[in-house]
């Protein structure tokens, strides 16, 4: 996965929900999180200008894009999922 080619991956939250992300670019990591009504595609216009300098991780929050949805939702859970993503 180090060639900069776009790819899709997943991590699993504590309740088993798959949290998706799109990876592209080459360089130091930069994690992109969309707002409440977006998804990874929210960054489509800025990715090309960043991909030559960073490895970009556009994370889909639960219930959006490549991510599944679970029985619960809270800002704390989103924070936990982003922390888990960063750890992996």
pLDDT one-digit tens code per residue, 16-71 = 889 999 999 999 999 998 988 889 999 999 999 999 999 999 999 988 999 988 77
pTM for the whole structure: 0.83
Q: Which two tokens stand for residue 78?
A: 């989103």
Which pLDDT does position 2 carry in this prediction? 54
Q: Is 79 left (phi over 0), alpha (psi -120 to 50) or beta?
A: alpha
The topology (CATH level 3) of 7-87 is Rossmann fold (3.40.50)
Flag whether pLDDT at 1 surpasses 70: no
pLDDT one-digit tens code per residue, 47-62 = 999 999 999 999 999 8
Helices (H), 1-88: 47-50, 75-87
Which pLDDT does position 54 carry in this prediction? 97
Flag whether pLDDT at 80 surpasses 90: no
Distance CA 14, CA 66 (A): 17
Domain locations along the chain: 7-87
């Amino acid at each position: 996965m180090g060639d900069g080619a776009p790819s899709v991956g997943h991590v699993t939250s504590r309740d088993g929900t798959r949290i998706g992300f799109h990876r592209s670019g080459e360089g130091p990591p930069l994690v992109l999180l969309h707002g409440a009504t977006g998804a990874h595609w929210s960054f489509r216009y800025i990715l090309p200008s960043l991909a030559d300098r960073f490895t970009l991780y556009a994370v889909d929050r639960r219930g959006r894009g490549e991510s599944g949805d679970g029985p619960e939702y809270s800002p704390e859970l989103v924070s936990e999922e982003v922390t888990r993503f960063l750890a992996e």
